[in-house]
Amino acid sequence: QLKNASSSSKSDGGSSSGSESSKDSSRCSTPVLDAERHERLREKMRRRQDSGDRWFSLEFFPPRTANAAVNLISRFDRMGAGGPLFIDVTWHPAGDPGSDKETSSMIIANTAVNYCGLETILHMTCCNQTKDDITGHLQKAKRLGLKNIMALRGDPAGEEWEEEVDGFNYAVDLVKHIRNEFDDYFDICVAGYPKGHPEAESYEADLKHLKEKVLAGADFIITQLFFRSETFLKFMKDCQAIGITCPIIPGIFPIQGYHSLRQLVKLSKLEVPQEIKDVIEPIKDNDAAIRNYGIELAVSMCRELLDSGVVHGLHFYTLNREVATTEVLKRLGLWKEDPRRPLPWAVSAHPKRRVEDVRPIFWASRPKSYIYRTQEWDDFPNGRWGNSSSPAFGELKDYYLFYLKSKSPREELLKMWGEELTGEESVFEVFTCYITGEPNKNGHKVTCMPWNDDPLATETNLLKEQLEKVNRRGILTINSQPNINGKPSTDPIVGWGPSGGYVFQKAYLEFFTSSEIVTALLKVLKKYESRVNYHIVNVKGQNITNAPDLQPNAVTWGIFPGREIIQPTVVDPVSFLSWKDEAFALWIEQWAKLYEEESPSRMIIQYIHDNYYLVNLVDNDFPLENCLWQVVDDTFELLNSPAQQ
Amino acid sequence: QLKNASSSSKSDGGSSSGSESSKDSSRCSTPVLDAERHERLREKMRRRQDSGDRWFSLEFFPPRTANAAVNLISRFDRMGAGGPLFIDVTWHPAGDPGSDKETSSMIIANTAVNYCGLETILHMTCCNQTKDDITGHLQKAKRLGLKNIMALRGDPAGEEWEEEVDGFNYAVDLVKHIRNEFDDYFDICVAGYPKGHPEAESYEADLKHLKEKVLAGADFIITQLFFRSETFLKFMKDCQAIGITCPIIPGIFPIQGYHSLRQLVKLSKLEVPQEIKDVIEPIKDNDAAIRNYGIELAVSMCRELLDSGVVHGLHFYTLNREVATTEVLKRLGLWKEDPRRPLPWAVSAHPKRRVEDVRPIFWASRPKSYIYRTQEWDDFPNGRWGNSSSPAFGELKDYYLFYLKSKSPREELLKMWGEELTGEESVFEVFTCYITGEPNKNGHKVTCMPWNDDPLATETNLLKEQLEKVNRRGILTINSQPNINGKPSTDPIVGWGPSGGYVFQKAYLEFFTSSEIVTALLKVLKKYESRVNYHIVNVKGQNITNAPDLQPNAVTWGIFPGREIIQPTVVDPVSFLSWKDEAFALWIEQWAKLYEEESPSRMIIQYIHDNYYLVNLVDNDFPLENCLWQVVDDTFELLNSPAQQ
């Protein structure tokens, strides 16, 4: 008798704890076991099926412009929060899909995996391409950490289909090629046609082609869209009858508008059933009505599929839109409103980062930058950088990398951060408005900062009152977390990791401030020696600290049933110096450069950049009341005392 | 400005937490910083001097018999608890000092370092030995993990001193040889003679020889005994005058008896001052009076030395006795009554084990066996066995290895464990008496068990009442620890590690029990799934567990200022199977073999060995009240319920 404690319902995804922004909503996948982090997609699918746990996936296409790409990535983050098992990105032969352009299929899929932490399938078509081209694309995908390919034929170049000798003529050729050249590295998905491929001689012949694709090495099938659940259920039965045993996932297309439906139907050569036409035609100019009908239709069809007992997962053709699909998923109860997270930060889905379970707290609000700067690291021994004393962070020079770009355009930022600054105090006010959520004096809310691209995180809200007070006086906070003395790992705000555990935090505060305040602070800190660890550094790298040696200080950790201790967030003195460069540069790159050169506004930001210090404080006594606010109060008191005047 | 949070007064040594015995009193050294674990002896000495922290060290000689060796090792454990900076073991050329005999200098020093965790200096003499012999001894010492040598000339073979050409004639030759052959590997100590060496031409000439030894590479000096503090202080001044700058440690000889004093004086050719003779002669037949006088004398001389301000450490010639030296140290305030420990178990002083900071809980009461079985491990990546899934424990076949031997002789064990057993119940009674401390029915206290060579640990005393109850009913406990939810690291019972931290434990219970009880227990455990992890195994290796995968479960951990989390004790499923072999074998090796073959008593133990299960339970919910007692109660209740009859 050997039992296993399975069924712990642990999950991926979630907003970064310990951060001042709700960013890092790069939540990934679904409620899972620890094991899932190490599983291949086909294994995850099998396990979910075995446990009777239903799932969904989302299909996106690459956008046309860089701005649209930035928006799509935010959408990945938001929709990733619902817990898809995977997303997939289509391949547009006309759009240079394998290139390094911000809008290429390859780069969008790369971003989804590496920066949003989503399990991702990259589509790939093979017709009209040489073997070398295809192999090159696949090698690149592998290099970028992509692990799953949807192998497709693609559309012929001309009107009529002509077979190329020695070329790739069918998806099955691509499947064989992938297995020949890359062995078992990729999970391979192929397309199924519930009504038969429009160009197939017959439905039966098409089923035979599908079986060939599976025999050639495909791991599972996603179907073309269809309008009636019977269509899919019959198709599935027919597949099984000829010996196709791999998972077959129905492709769901929630009707979102009259024109998009017509276009899709034309492309796919499908016929819309008369009963649907009858409803749509009369309301074809009422988008909202069509969408509501589409949602109803999709929900009821999905319910029939799930109730059949043979369908475990649903694949959604989103058309890059959010509302309809999210609504369908919520009504079906598949959207995970509060997916618990395996770690307090979003886990990257890159295979080489699987074992990563420690990160410096500094990048809590900029996880994509952290991933970018550590992308060259070859492995993560002990779950982190190889040697903490030489982490060798990559340079971050291009603050305009599209996945680091602010979602807000320049005009918006100027409204939030001030068209014209009149002194350091106007900077204090910007920080204060960001914390309070109150509009600034021109009536604009400050919803992001150079260090935080999203509004204040729920956890940080707990500290709001104190944060407001100190920002108003020139302690410009960019990162903080409260202390936590053993809350359940399922706590909706601060919880993470498997259920049944307890999570802990040391209070943390990170801010920019003037040298006057630093001088007083250092006097005050003498009273707190050993209780409070501090690192104080300016842009030139002058570094004041009481940290013993160069050891990291664990500031977030968790204790779980039957596990070793996990300590996913640390204050690491060495990486702080790499973070310092980035944190100071953001003043200039994101803020100062909004203004004309030589303008007073720009000079104010430049002054702060040149003269302020970046400070971080840790209160080691996590079971007691957080003393960092007392440290700051004492500092202001000292500054106001007569002896200081 | 770069400050350091020094002065954290962390310490070594201490009794093993999480164990049913107070064993593992192999405490080592003194209150120290973490750094000390990585420091060489000479660096520790320097740091203690710099910080004004006074210390002591203890000299022992190798005993003549194996039984005496077992006793000496217990003495190392007990005296190690007082926190010596090091101990040293003398070299007896006549006693085959470099051999593998249990009583050789080499093996006694090896035991002190590896099994008692004591910083150790091995003496070595050089006269009448070949270079190859000496090199061989040094190589062996290095291989065993010894890091410090006291380089001595030794006594001449005949009455008169004859110089050997090409041989080692003086200690300085040995110092040079060590530095030539082993570079800086060893710390070298040499002897100083406050009155001059009896064979030296003059006091001045002897000082010159001493300086030569230091110039040749000696790191510090320990002096011959003396009777007046002025003698030492003058000697020290004279040394400094001729440029000897290394530490000079006074050798203190507390007079313990008339005859030992006379013998020592004869050997060392020293003269006893008249004022001492005047006191001793009249009381020469009163041992207690002489010892009390000796203690008084030593204390006042040591006070003078320490008050001089130039003496930082005191070296004691113990003559392998405990009482006098311990008393002097206690009166001087140098004996650390409650030395805090860097980890909850005693740290081995072997250089390759320096980074070791994780151990399975199973060997908590048998740390010497754990060290023996892991002595071949080459390194301790992540502070533990290289790959936890293949720890490759060495076999433990020889239960009579002298450092694993019970301190009690066979007759004693029979009195405790029963001259004649009448059934399983008489075994239950032995376990119960061990727990309660009450005498057995023949009036003998049970002070040790095959799995615990020492009486119940202080920590386990907290569980006494419950332990008594369950042992009486056939849950034969051999290891347990209470849960702890964040006690200060300075807690006198459960604390360990640097000050300012917090320590935690999950409740743990390990016991042998019958298959009937196991069957009921398994039913009960269903109710506690995921809260309680269990491993249940019999001698044949049938293994029942609910542990996920083969991951270790951390059961002791600590959170410290400015540090990463430390989790020094784990329940590791893989190593449990190695422990199981040892735990079952101890029934036979230590208990069954006390009785005649085929005797009923022996057959009872053999029956238990063959049929009982070894069970361990962890309550993962450490912040709640320990549920393991409830688990056991529920089990008994189930066994008593009518449905079970």
Asked if the C-beta of A534 comes within 8 angstroms of chain B's C-beta atoms, the answer is no
CA distances (Å), origin B271, targets A66, B266, B267, B276, B277? 96, 9, 11, 10, 10
- Which residue, A559, A459, A544, is CA-closest to A507? A459
Mode of pairing for the β-strands spanning A148-152 and A120-125: parallel
pLDDT at A401: 73
Angle between helices B287-307 and B323-332 in degrees, nearest 10: 40
- Note whether B569 and B18 are within 8 A (CB): yes
Q: Which of B20, B59, B327, B468 is catalytic?
A: B59
Q: Per the structure block, which two tokens stand in for A531?
A: 């209780």
Q: Does the CA dihedral A394-A396-A401-A406 come out positive or negative?
A: positive
pLDDT at A1: 34
Tokens at B552, concatenated: 């270790």
Bridge partners of A124?
A151
pLDDT at B200: 84
Does the pLDDT value for residue B300 go beyond 70? yes
**Pick from B378, B394, B397: nearest CA to B386:** B378
Q: What is the pLDDT of residues A181-205, one digit of tens each?
A: 999 999 999 999 999 888 888 999 9
Which chain B residue has its CA at the smallest distance from A487's CA?
B623
How confident is the model over A305-362, as pLDDT tens digits?
999 999 999 999 999 999 999 999 999 999 986 666 788 887 778 877 877 888 889 9
Asked whether the beta carbons of residue B622 and residue A382 sit closer than 8 angstroms, the reply is: no
Q: Say how many C-beta atoms besides its own lie within 10 A of residue A179's C-beta.
A: 17
> pLDDT value at position A268?
80
Lowest mean pLDDT among A151-165, A234-248, B269-283, B521-535: A151-165
Q: Tally the C-alpha atoms within 13 A of residue A526's C-alpha that lie toward its C-beta.
A: 6
Q: Determine, for residues B5 and A546 on separate chains, whether the beta-carbon distance falls below 8 Å.
A: yes
Of the pLDDT bands very low, low, confident and very high (cuts 50, 70, 90), residue B508 is very high
Q: Strand order in B553-559's β-sheet? A: B359-360, B566-571, B553-559, B502-505, B484-488
- How far does the CA of residue A30 sit from the closest CA of chain B (Å)? 20
Q: How confident is the model at residue A368 (pLDDT cuts 50, 70, 90)?
A: confident
Q: Which residues, 6 or more positions from B613, have their beta carbon under 8 angstroms from its beta carbon?
A: B512, B513, B514, B515, B518, B536, B537, B538
Res B339: pLDDT? 60
Higher pLDDT, B49 or A549: B49
Top pLDDT among A67 and B163 is at A67
Q: Rounded to whole angstroms, how far apart are CA atoms A172 and A139?
A: 19
pLDDT given for residue A375 in this prediction = 80
How many angstroms separate the Cα of B216 from the Cα of each of A101, B148, B210? 69, 16, 10
Q: How far is CA A283 from the centre of its chain?
A: 37
Lowest pLDDT segment from A43-47, A89-93, A413-417, B639-643: B639-643
**Nearest CB neighbour to A551, from listed B529, B562, B618:** B562
CB contact under 8 A, B4 and A546: yes
> What does the pLDDT look like over B570-607, one tens digit per residue?
998 888 988 999 999 999 999 999 999 999 999 999 99
Which pLDDT score is estimated for A263?
Answer: 85
Instruction: Return the exposure string of A5-15: e unless at least 16 CB atoms fall within 10 Å of the residue's CB, then b.
Output: beebebbbbbb
Intra-chain end-to-end CA distance of chain A, in Å: 77
On the question of pLDDT at B269 being above 80, the answer is: yes
pLDDT, tens digit, 9 for 90 and up, residues A88-122:
999 988 889 999 998 999 999 999 998 888 999 99
A156 contacts chain B (CB < 8 A): no
Which of B 458-517 lie inside 8 A of A, CB atoms? Answer: 485-486, 500-502, 504
Spell out the residues 6+ positions from residue A406 whose beta carbon is closer than 8 angstroms to its own: A413, A448, A453, A590
User: Residue A384: what pLDDT?
Assistant: 60
Instruction: Select the highest-mean-pLDDT range: A339-348, B302-311, B392-401, B546-555.
Output: B302-311
Interface check A623 vs B, CB under 8 A:
yes
CA atoms within 13 A on the CB side of B495: 19
Mean pLDDT (chain B) is 87
Element counts in chain A: helices (H) and strands (E): 20, 18
Asked if the model's pLDDT at residue B376 lies above 90, the reply is no
Cβ contact, residue pair A564, B560, below 8 Å: no
Which of B490, B620, B621, B627 is the best mutation test for A, with the most CBs of A within 10 A? Answer: B620
pLDDT band at B380 (very low <50, low <70, confident <90, very high): low
Type of residue found at B400: Y
Instruction: Indicate whether B351 pLDDT > 90.
Output: no
A157 interfacial to chain B (CB closer than 8 Å): no
Tell me: pLDDT of A6 over 50.
no
Inter-chain touch B3–A545, beta carbons under 8 Å: yes
Res A427 pLDDT > 80: yes
User: What's the length of chain A?
Assistant: 645
pLDDT over threshold 80, residue B519: yes
pLDDT band of B387, cuts 50, 70, 90: very low
- What pLDDT does residue A455 have? 81
Q: Is A546 on the interface with B (CB under 8 A)?
A: yes
- Measured between CB atoms, which of B548, B567, B621 is closest to A5? B548
Tens digits of residue pLDDT in B15-38: 333 333 332 222 222 223 355 567
Q: Which of A273-282, A593-602, B404-413 has the lowest mean pLDDT?
A: B404-413
Residue percentage of chain B with pLDDT more than 90: 62
Rounded to whole angstroms, the Cα distance separating B513 from B617 reads 13
With 60 as the cut, is the pLDDT of residue A31 above it?
no
Residue B437: which region, alpha, beta or left (left: phi > 0; alpha: psi -120 to 50)? left
CB of A587 within 8 Å of a chain B CB? The answer is no
d(CA B30, CA B84) in angstroms, rounded, equals 6
For testing contact with chain A, the best of B565, B572, B577 (most A CBs within 10 A)? B565
Of the candidate ranges A478-482, B198-202, B354-358, B611-615, the one whose mean pLDDT is the lowest: B354-358
Residue B292: both structure tokens together: 């009390």
Cα maximum dimension of chain B: 94
Residue B503, H or E segment = strand B502-505
Contact between residue B624 and residue A488 where contact means Cβ atoms under 8 Å apart: no
Measured distance CA(B519)–CA(B395) in Å, rounded:
31
pLDDT at A198: 82
Q: Any CB–CB contact under 8 A between A643 and chain B?
A: no
Backbone angles phi and psi of A542, in degrees to 5:
-65, 125
Percent of chain A with pLDDT over 70: 89
Name the residue among B544, B552, B623 with its Cβ closest to that of A1.
B544
* B567 contact A CB<8A: yes
Residue A387 binned pLDDT confidence (cut-offs 50, 70, 90): very low
* Residue A632 near residue A522 (C-beta atoms within 8 A): no
* B546/A5 touch (CB, cutoff 8 Å), yes or no: yes
The strands making up A502-505's β-sheet, listed across from edge to edge, are A359-360, A566-571, A553-559, A502-505, A484-488
- Residue B285, SS3? coil
Burial (CB count <10 Å: 0-12, 13-18, 19+), residue B32: buried
Phi, psi for B320 (deg, rounded to 5): 65, 20
Name the residue type at position A57. Answer: S
Give the model's pLDDT for residue B382: 52
Q: How far apart are CA B321 and CA B79, in angstroms?
A: 10
Residue A24 clears pLDDT 70, i.e. is over it: no
Q: Give dist(CA A519, CA A540) in Å, integer.
A: 17
Among the listed residues A443, A462, A565, the one whose alpha carbon sits nearest the alpha carbon of residue A504: A565
Chain B residues with CB-CB distance to A567 below 8 A: 564-565
Cβ of B533 under 8 Å from any chain A Cβ?
yes
Task: Name residues whose C-beta falls within 8 Å of residue A256's C-beta, 6 or more positions apart in sequence.
Answer: A290, A291, A294, A319, A321, A324
